[in-house]
Amino acid sequence: MRRSFVKPRGQEHGSAYIAALLVLVLLTIFGMSLVLITSTERQIGTNQRTVSRMFYNADSGTAVAIASLLVNNDPDPKMLELSRADVLGGQIREEVETSRVSVVSTDHLNLTEINDSGKFKRVNHFFTTTSRRLLGSPTKFDTEAGRKELRVVAQKQLSMMVEVQPMSVEAGTLYDSEAGVVYDPPPASPPPP
């Protein structure tokens, strides 16, 4: 049996090895860039979900404030805890805080059938709701000093102007924009022409 060897020309020893290494390096760079893009897209999706969740939490706080005002005539601030989860030795909580519902203005109501006595008005209110996602040790949530050390992971604030009509403004039933001041309507006057 006869063997035939092809002699390499000049400097061609190991050129296939170098070409294979270059292709491997290019494929590795391409794969790493795909991993980076995928992880970035995942983080963007997680952040978008958190932002949406904070918005809807704050929106639910506005509904609680409006319902409390209309049903109980209670304009006082509210603090709601929506969820709690234990994570890696800490806790994540989602809370909604509403400000005091303040009266911005009152105006004559044109519904003459029900407003003959002048006790109903069109009332504009203003308030804010803040939704927060907090991270910290479970013991820090219970004290005021500990709450200052909590890490705010996400936060969304909504400001609302709400008009309620008809709203009864009999003496002692409506709060003014200053805390604790009760609105006493002036004596009934005839509606404007």
Determine, yes or no, domain membership for 9: no
Determine, yes or no, domain membership for 56: yes
Each residue's pLDDT tens digit, 136-156? 887 777 777 777 788 888 999
Each residue's pLDDT tens digit, 102-139? 888 877 777 656 556 666 777 888 999 999 998 888 77
Say what the pTM is.
0.66
Structure-derived torsion over alpha carbons of residues 63, 69, 72, 77, reported in degrees to the nearest 10? 80
CA distance 40 to 37: 5
Determine, yes or no, domain membership for 99: yes
Determine, yes or no, domain membership for 188: no
pLDDT value for 170:
58
For residues 41-61, one letter each, b for 16 or more C-beta atoms within 10 angstroms of the residue's C-beta and e for the rest, the string is: eeeeeeeeeeeebbeebbeeb
Structural domain boundaries, residue 56: 15-183
CA distance 121 to 186: 12
Name the domain count of the chain: 1
Residues paired with residue 168 on neighbouring β-strands, in sequence order: 120
Each residue's pLDDT tens digit, 63-102? 999 998 888 878 889 999 888 888 877 888 899 999 988 8
Determine, yes or no, domain membership for 10: no
CA distance 123 to 174: 9
Determine, yes or no, domain membership for 134: yes
Q: Taking 70 as the threshold, does the pLDDT of residue 19 lie above it?
A: yes
Helix extents (H) in the chain: 15-72, 144-147
Determine, yes or no, domain membership for 190: no
